Amino acid sequence: MKILLAPLDPVHDAGLKLIRRRLEALGYTCVLLPPDITVEEIGEAALREQVDMIFIGRTVGYGVEQLFQRVRDVLTRQGVFGKIRVAIGGMAVTDELAKRLGFEGGYGPHTTIEEIHALIERNPELARHVTHPVKHKPAFPFRHDYRVKLAETRRYLDRIVDNILEWTEGKTSPGIRRARITEAQLREVKGSVEDYTALPFTREYLALCDPVVVDFFQKNICPPTVRQLSQDEIAAYFRRIEQAQQQFHPRVLQHDRKQPLVFIQYGTGCPMMDGLHIKVAESRGADGVLHFDPAWGARTEGLLDGYLTNAEDGTPVTYANLALIKRSLDRATLWSVRAHRGLNTPEIVVLAAYLGADLTKINIPYGSLCGGTDPARLTVDGVEAVRLAARFGMPFDIPTNEELAGVPPHKAFAGMLIMAQLGRRLGAKPILKPLLCHGPHILVQGWMEQNYVDYNCAKIRALQAVADFPIWPGEPIGFMTHDEEKVRSAATTALHAALCASLGVDAVTVASTDEAFSRGPITAAARASALDGIAETFRFFGQTDIAPSARVKEWTEQLVEQINRTLKAVADAPSFVEALYGGLLGDREDGVYPGRAGRNSVIVEAAPAASTARACRAAAARKRPARQSMLLRATKPARRCA
């Protein structure tokens, strides 16, 4: 088939040139006329070349309808229209307009080559063969050797990890015991959501819970702002999700690099609203999503159950809620459920694992100093959670959001590296999650007064100099550079993402354009806007790197030195737990303090090791209430309430 491509425009013919290349690749013979020709010349060329079809392109949009009416009249007078098929295209042309004017069809700026192919062949089936990108769930994190490169750093980290493992030996907590009960039940029902939710609560479990959880199970009283979703709501929701999945085509954000993967955080309060936001984010190219639970959930012993919605930020962690989210995900979407900071850390890892979550999140220093959990309790629970993550093959990321409270980056990084080395020792795959943002300490020091590039580069390079762990900046990137104005907010997120791409990190967590808006829930449209901005920025930079200024080298070296100094202080402390209480990884002056939730709840099951005894003596010697006690409790056998 021979096709004539004619630009009815003084200069613009790039679109037709592109169509020619693609049509020739499909085997068509094309004749492309030069720009600045008359309609009469187009008709003459069509007759002379004996073409089967004509595509006339008009880039400029004003008066396009009147113009193509005249085109039709001229071609009719020439005996072309009606004899040779004619299609029209351009910025303001739609298929509807073209057909209304009597043309074969129309093509606009978003028309695919498959649609043009279908138009030529008069075969709508061909338009359905649109080549959408195929997305597979990546093996994440990407390949790393997890080696601590600096001998000095490695030495300190190993000493600290030895101490943590020795200190936690023989200790347990209500959180660990609940995790074991929950796992036993999930094993019994083979992970089935319906069967698990239908199980009666156990007295053994409730004995380990706070009154709010006991009231929920025994008296059916929901916490304020929480309500149970009805079966009708759930059924209608899944119909919506199934419909969305049928119409879904994957989109790839990364233009010319494989990384960073782009994650969003969800936690509107309602799992159904979360699910819909996730579908919107997937449709704009997000690679992964992270579950955020409400702050009170972290300070409460025990988890609620069933399909629950919360009218405030943070979606309650229940097995049913997580299952609803899981069912909403595209098969290529990575899913992380954060467990890191509260009294239910090991239990959440168990729930996440049984639902097939790809990742979890655990950080003892952050949860102890910024998340409100007692350091001793979270050390015991955190080690158990890391063991569980290792057993279930779930990589875990280590957020350092204590920086947002004012902790200097080197202290947050030291805590993060301790968690990473602990994770490796226990056979897990840790991921470093530094903040890439205008944090309070950096703001006070004035290190980002000139730009947001240099100090952020120094932070990532310092971590890359210390060890080869996966790096996933968050949470979200660009925090405290956002603005309530949408365009500025999208721009700062997108530029931070481009910087991360340039630094070769594995992934990023990004905000919506509502990040700085705190007077109401964020919207699905705000998620789409931020991701669209990232797509354009990745397209703009491709594989081009951002070149920081020379001062990055000095800042990088300074950070490494400060990290090592902090690690040495922690290694020299009586114990890691004492170091947390003592503020070595962040103190009141930095804006953080040891949490109180779960204080005195560590349970000693076996004789404490020598180092534990030392720590207890040290705590007593400080002449203030010991931060943790060896609370002995008899374990009850598992028994269900009838």
Partner 1 sequence: MPASPETAPVNPRDRIVDAVDVESFVLCESEREAREVIGQLMAAMGFDRHVIVSLDFNGPGAHFRARGYVNKPGDRYTWLRP
CB of 297 to partner 1, least distance (A): 15
Q: Is the CB of 49 or the CB of 233 nearer to partner 1? A: 233
CB of 517 to partner 1, least distance (A): 5
CB of 330 to partner 1, least distance (A): 18
- CA-to-CA dists, residue 513 to 265, 277, 435, angstroms: 13, 13, 18
- C-alpha 31/C-alpha 22 separation (Å) is 13
Q: Is the CB of 153 or the CB of 489 nearer to partner 1? A: 489
Q: Please state whether 146 falls in left (phi above 0), alpha (psi between -120 and 50) or beta.
A: left
Are 297 and 548 in contact by the 8 Å Cβ rule? The answer is no
State how far Cα 121 lies from the chain centre.
43
Q: Is the CB of 208 or the CB of 329 nearer to partner 1? A: 329
Extended beta strands in 175-285, E state: 226-228, 261-266
Q: Is the CB of 243 or the CB of 451 nearer to partner 1? A: 243
Q: Is the CB of 276 or the CB of 362 nearer to partner 1? A: 276
Upstream peptide bond of 141 is cis (omega within 30 degrees of 0): yes
CB of 137 to partner 1, least distance (A): 25
Q: Is the CB of 276 or the CB of 422 nearer to partner 1? A: 276
Q: Is the CB of 332 or the CB of 516 nearer to partner 1? A: 516
Q: Is the CB of 68 or the CB of 216 nearer to partner 1? A: 216
Q: Is the CB of 237 or the CB of 538 nearer to partner 1? A: 237
Which residues are near partner 1 by CB under 8 A? Answer: 225, 227, 233, 236-237, 240, 268-270, 272-273, 276-277, 280, 309-311, 483-486, 514, 517, 519-521, 523-525
Q: Is the CB of 146 or the CB of 238 nearer to partner 1? A: 238
Q: CA-based diameter of the chain, in Å?
A: 105
Q: Is the CB of 236 or the CB of 607 nearer to partner 1? A: 236
CB of 294 to partner 1, least distance (A): 11
CB of 358 to partner 1, least distance (A): 25
Q: Residue 257 contacts by C-beta under 8 Å, 6 or more apart in sequence?
A: 501, 538, 542, 543
User: SS3 of 493, please?
Assistant: helix
Which has the closest alpha carbon to 242: 146, 340, 330? Answer: 330
CB of 431 to partner 1, least distance (A): 29
Strands 171-172 and 226-228: unpaired
- CA-to-CA dists, residue 486 to 12, 285, 436, 519, angstroms: 33, 19, 20, 15
- C-alpha 202/C-alpha 205 separation (Å) is 5
Looking at the DSSP bridge assignments, the partners of residue 171 are 604
Q: Is the CB of 205 or the CB of 292 nearer to partner 1? A: 292
CB of 354 to partner 1, least distance (A): 26
Which has the closest alpha carbon to 457: 525, 325, 546? Answer: 546
Cα atoms in the 13 Å half-sphere on the side-chain side of 39 = 18
Q: Is the CB of 273 or the CB of 626 nearer to partner 1? A: 273
CB of 479 to partner 1, least distance (A): 18
Which has the closest alpha carbon to 309: 222, 229, 189, 406? Answer: 229
CB of 9 to partner 1, least distance (A): 33
Q: Is the CB of 489 or the CB of 564 nearer to partner 1? A: 489
Q: Residue 126 contacts by C-beta under 8 Å, 6 or more apart in sequence?
A: 114, 117, 118
End-to-end CA distance of the chain: 78
Amino acid symbol at 483 = D
Which has the closest alpha carbon to 331: 161, 535, 137? Answer: 137
Upstream peptide bond of 316 is cis (omega within 30 degrees of 0): no
CB of 65 to partner 1, least distance (A): 27
Amino acid symbol at 292 = F
DSSP state of 62: T
Are 88 and 25 in contact by the 8 Å Cβ rule? The answer is no
CB of 527 to partner 1, least distance (A): 10
Q: Is the CB of 112 or the CB of 523 nearer to partner 1? A: 523
CB of 228 to partner 1, least distance (A): 11
Q: Is the CB of 157 or the CB of 264 nearer to partner 1? A: 264
CB of 528 to partner 1, least distance (A): 10
CB of 255 to partner 1, least distance (A): 28
- C-alpha 263/C-alpha 493 separation (Å) is 12
Q: Residue 101 contacts by C-beta under 8 Å, 6 or more apart in sequence?
A: 65, 68, 69, 72, 88
Which has the closest alpha carbon to 362: 402, 398, 416, 412? Answer: 398
Amino acid symbol at 97 = L
Instruction: State phi, psi for 2 to the nearest 5 degrees.
Output: -110, 135
State how far Cα 220 lies from the chain centre.
34
CB of 216 to partner 1, least distance (A): 17
DSSP state of 67: H
- Annotate 365-414 with DSSP letters as a single string: HHHHHTS-B-HHHHHHHHHHHHHHHHHHT--EEEE-GGGGGT--HHHHHH
